[in-house]
Structures are given as structure tokens and as C-alpha cells.
Amino acid sequence: MFKESPIIRRKSRQIMVGNVPVGGDAPIAVQSMTNTLTTDVAATVAQIKALEAVGADIVRVSVPTMDAAEAFKEIKKQVSVPLVTDIHFDYRIALKVAEYGADCLRINPGNIGREDRVRAVVASARDKGIPIRIGVNGGSLEKDIQEKYTEPTPEALLESAMRHVDILDRLNFHDFKVSVKASDVFLAVGSYRLLAKQIDNPLHLGITEAGGLRSGSVKSSVGLGLLLSEGIGDTLRVSLAADPVEEVKVGFDILKSLKLRSRGINFIACPSCSRQEFDVISTVNELEQRVEDIMTPMDVSIIGCIVNGPGEAEVSDLGLTGSSKKSGFYLDGIRQKERFDNNNLVDQLEARIRAKAKLMDKANQIDFKEITE
């Protein structure tokens, strides 16, 4: 089994979104976006902090009006995670949020009008060290591109993206990332593949408007998984019609499955069958909820019988192998004399997981200290 990802990532230049590096050899950043009214400062701050608590590296905030820009000023004071401001058309809003400390401007330069307006936004971004994100969407292509291609195609999304890229290149501004999102998996994947060959800037991945929690997670996993497995992508957002916190969780799950990032517990659990000696499904579901706060990378296998259990446990940090009345317990791949009562598995496993996480965290701190001394 692979301990590290066999994926070779596309080489891209690196930009900084606040204190988070994006591109180059930096970890793939996981993003989400608030869905509160930005003018409701308290609600927006609360949601940003909830996203940060589950590991969001970057959070995007919509700023459609000057009132929202003023609210952003107050929001920025109360949070520490880098904030991307989502702006469309009005260059004055971009200038205002840049003044108020935005960590990235999501604004397409070709959509903000006259040359002097574009230059003003770029000059402000350059002066304050703020990157720009170009965001192309298959559902909102320019009218002439729609007429040229008659329907969204990878070539159409590429042409739209390159129009904006060319503007920034002409102004000698290179600190930007690009997305070419679509709700259709094949359209999005095809567009990103073309774009990856054209530029070396970081790419922000997403299957836009993917759907509800279940269907959207599946669609995003398929689309983003295809691209990530080819080494394409430097940051991502899973777009769901659900609590934004779920977007972050699914995003990390996708990266964990490809061994591109390790954060939190990776549960390996059987789908259960008539061989199971305990209720695997309820055990895993309850345990996942209980240990959501643990961010230490760890593999935990929970298998209901002795057919596949030992093999999975031997390559896990913690492993449970179902047996009659009491189940076998493995630590670091080694079978322990201790056995767990099948009537009280969740409490026993939670205690062991937390103890293991503390030991791993302590070991990592010692290793870091040795490296830095």
C-alpha cells in the first residue's frame, strides 16, 4: 500500500493568499465560501470561524455592494483565516476591500470596464501584495463567446479565461490564480486540462453548483479526483447546496483519499455483512462525530470480522477486528493482548484514538524542535 501519494503534481508558480502559499510545492489548499449576508457581520464571522475550526485554509466572502465592503472591514478584524473577496463588475468595491485588507481579489479584469479602472485595481493589488483570482464559469460566458461556440465547451472556457489572463499579463501582473468551473464534470475537467497546458499560474479547482450534499460530493469527487490524479490543481472548493462546513470536510476527504494531504482521521471500515460481530455502521458513524475535533493524521481500521480485519489492522495506526463478544485490537500494526468488549466499542476506541493522537502530536513536536535547533 502507498504511504505517500504517487501523484506527480503539475509545476506552477506560487502566490501567497494572506499567509497561505498556493501553488509550487505547497499543500493543496481547501477553501469554502460563506453563505450569510455579508452585511450581517456577526453571522458571517461565526461562519468563518466554524469553517476555520474544521480546517479551511482560505474562505471566500461575497462583497456585492459598498455596504458589504464596509461590513467586510469589520469582519476582517475579527478573523485570522485569509479572506478572498468575491466581486463582480464594480472596480470601486475592489479598491475598497483592498484598502480594508482583503487577502485576494476574485474579480475578472475583463468585466470591470475601461482600461483605467482595470489599471487602478491592478495597481492597488500590486501595491498591497494582493493576488487576483480569475474565475470563469460555464454558465456565464461572454456573449460573443457563447455565439461563437453555441454552447459551453472546454475551448470556450479556455478562450474566456485567456482573455482575462492576457489583460493581467499585459499589465505585467502575475500574482493570480485561475478557475474554469462548470457544473458538468466532463466540461470542467476538459477545460482545466486545456488551461493547465497554457499557463503556469496556480489553478483553483471546482465543479460549480455540484448539487446537494450526497450528489454534489460524488460529482465533485469524480471531477476533482480526475484532475488531482493527473497532478492538476493547487487549491480547491467543493461547491455544495449544504452547510459550507461540509464542503471543507469533503474537500479534505478527497485529498486524503489521494494521499495529497493528511488531516484528521482516515477511517477504514467495512460495509458490513452477515459475518460482522458488532454493528459496524453505527460504531463508525458515532465515532466519526465524536473525534471530528482531532486533526492528527491517523489511519483507523474498523472491520467487523476476522476475514479482512487483520490485514487492514496491520497497516493502520489503530485497528479493530471483529470477533465474538470481544474484538481484537491492534496498535501500530501489532496485535495487542487487550480485547474490546463489543457492547462498549465506541468509548474504548475514542479513548485509544485520543491517547494515540496525543503521543503522535508530542512526537511531531520533538521532531520539529530537532529540525529547527
Which residues participate in the annotated binding site for [4Fe-4S] cluster? 270, 273, 305, 312
Q: How many Å separate Cα 257 from the centre of its chain?
A: 13
Query: Residue 284 and residue 209: Cα distance in Å, rounded?
Result: 30
Q: Are 147 and 94 in contact (CB under 8 A)?
A: no
Query: Residue 236 and residue 186: Cα distance in Å, rounded?
Result: 17
Q: DSSP per residue over 25-87, as a string?
A: TSPPEEEEE--S-TT-HHHHHHHHHHHHHTT-SEEEEE--SHHHHHHHHHHHHH--S-EEEE-
Q: Are 87 and 117 in contact (CB under 8 A)?
A: no
Phi and psi angles of residue 61, each rounded to the nearest 5 degrees, phi first: -125, 130
Q: DSSP per residue over 270-282, as a string?
A: ----TT-SS-HHH
Q: What is the largest CA-CA distance in the chain?
A: 76
Query: Residue 266 and residue 262: Cα distance in Å, rounded?
Result: 8
Binding-site annotation: residue ranges: 270, 273, 305, 312
